[in-house]
């Protein structure tokens, strides 16, 4: 008898495990299908993501103008024009000082190459001019042998630039419509959805929008800290073009990993050209220190407070996103993790709201009429 009971329990446990495994497999299959569909529609999703990120930056002034009686189209147009002027001014602010110093920069690059050759010819390398010429000839032969692959890479680069321009234009158009018609979206979405979804989906979308805005603001603040600290360090060392380098650091802070690397390399190169090896190494140390402080202290703390995520979750999300999808994954990892947390918190709130208790059945005492004394009306007029 005991053996029969144990066999039944084992079969019941196996059926339960099989059911759970089947549900997990279905969830994984749906996740794979969803990611595959997102990958196929990436040419549309990527401009949409960029437009949403830019809209979170420009929505506060549009909201201010609309609250003061401006028509939505006019407010959105004005803010769009100001945003484009600011972006163009930033580019000009970076390019103009660099162009003004181009002659000195060219001479510095030539002197830097001569310095490297002189250093390489001495101990411990002891590379002679003949050896260096042989290395250059070998490099030239390698380049000539790979002309086809270089041309293919160049064509790929041109295609990437064209796709980038198309994405930028599409993102700007979407940004204008989001600024103009954004507040109408949630009421429209609520009318299109049936039943309880008409309440739940707009609520989750509203919270996700607030979370996305917090992410963009925190990223801008972190970029500002990087620009200020690195700019002060460059100014103390005596590196020229401090303001363009600080602006470049702030702009590239919105591009994870590659942005900080690019800005740091530019700063070190300019320091090497204008102020020599020693100060270039000092600049490199300053940039590494600021980047480590920003990546391990400032960014996790600020984003964890603004997004409601723990600092460790932020670090793990960026690491996972970067390893899976590169730069784009690193850029979107934190807001995606924050939106998942928003959805989970809302779901937990709905599940924790216990339904109201059912009414109790009436008892005999409740159904017995209460005997109260009759009220005697003493009014003689009645």
Taking each continuous run of H as one helix and of E as one strand, the counts in the chain are 13, 0
Predicted confidence (pLDDT) per residue in 308-355, tens digit: 666 677 777 777 777 777 767 777 777 788 888 888 888 888 877 555
- Secondary structure string (H, E, C) spanning 213-239: HHHHHHHHHHHHHHHHHHHHHHHHHCC
- Is 10's pLDDT higher than 80? no
> Range with the lowest mean pLDDT among 170-179, 264-273, 350-359?
350-359
- Is 150's pLDDT higher than 60? no
Count CB-CB contacts under 10 A for residue 70. Answer: 16
Which position has the higher pLDDT, 19 or 379? Answer: 19
User: Long-range contacts for 130-135 (Cβ within 8 Å, ≥24 apart)?
Assistant: none
For residues 216 and 53, the answer to whether their CB atoms sit within 8 Å is yes
> pTM of the predicted model, to two decimals?
0.61
- Is 364's pLDDT higher than 60? no
> Range with the lowest mean pLDDT among 47-51, 107-111, 363-367?
363-367
User: Over the chain, what is the mean pLDDT?
Assistant: 74
């Amino acid at each position: 008898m005991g053996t029969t009971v144990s066999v039944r329990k084992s079969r019941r446990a196996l059926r339960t495990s099989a059911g759970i495994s089947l549900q997990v497999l279905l969830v994984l299959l749906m996740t794979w299908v969803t990611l595959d569909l997102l990958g196929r529609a990436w040419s549309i999703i990527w401009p949409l993501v960029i437009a949403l990120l830019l809209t979170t930056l420009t929505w506060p002034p549009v909201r201010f103008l609309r609250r003061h009686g401006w028509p939505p189209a006019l407010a959105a147009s004005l803010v769009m024009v100001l945003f484009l002027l600011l972006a163009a001014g930033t580019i000009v602010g970076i390019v103009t000082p660099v162009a003004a110093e181009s002659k000195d920069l060219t001479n510095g690059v030539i002197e830097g190459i001569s310095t490297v050759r002189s250093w390489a010819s001495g101990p411990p390398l002891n590379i002679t001019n003949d050896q260096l010429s042989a290395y250059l000839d070998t490099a030239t032969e390698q380049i000539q042998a790979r002309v086809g692959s270089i041309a293919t890479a160049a064509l790929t680069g041109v295609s990437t630039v064209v796709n980038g321009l198309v994405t930028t234009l599409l993102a700007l158009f979407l940004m204008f419509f989001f600024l103009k018609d954004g507040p109408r979206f949630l009421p429209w979405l609520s009318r299109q959805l049936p039943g309880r979804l008409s309440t739940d989906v707009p609520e989750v979308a509203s919270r996700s929008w607030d979370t996305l805005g917090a992410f963009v603001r925190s990223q801008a603040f972190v970029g500002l800290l990087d620009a200020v600290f690195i700019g002060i360090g460059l100014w103390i060392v005596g590196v020229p073009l401090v303001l363009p380098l600080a602006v470049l650091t702030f702009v590239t802070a919105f591009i994870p990993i590659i942005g900080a690397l690019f800005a740091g390399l530019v700063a070190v190169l300019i320091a090497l050209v204008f102020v020599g090896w020693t100060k270039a190494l000092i600049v490199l140390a300053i940039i590494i220190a600021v980047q480590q402080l920003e990546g391990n202290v400032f960014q996790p703390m600020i984003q964890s407070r603004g997004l409601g995520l723990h600092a460790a979750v932020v670090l793990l999300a960026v690491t996972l996103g970067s390893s899976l999808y590169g730069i784009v994954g690193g850029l979107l990892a934190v807001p995606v993790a924050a939106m998942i947390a928003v959805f989970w918190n809302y779901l937990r709130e709905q599940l924790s709201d216990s339904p109201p208790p059912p009414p109790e059945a009436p008892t005999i005492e409740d159904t017995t009429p209460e005997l109260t004394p009759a009220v005697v009306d003493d009014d003689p007029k009645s």
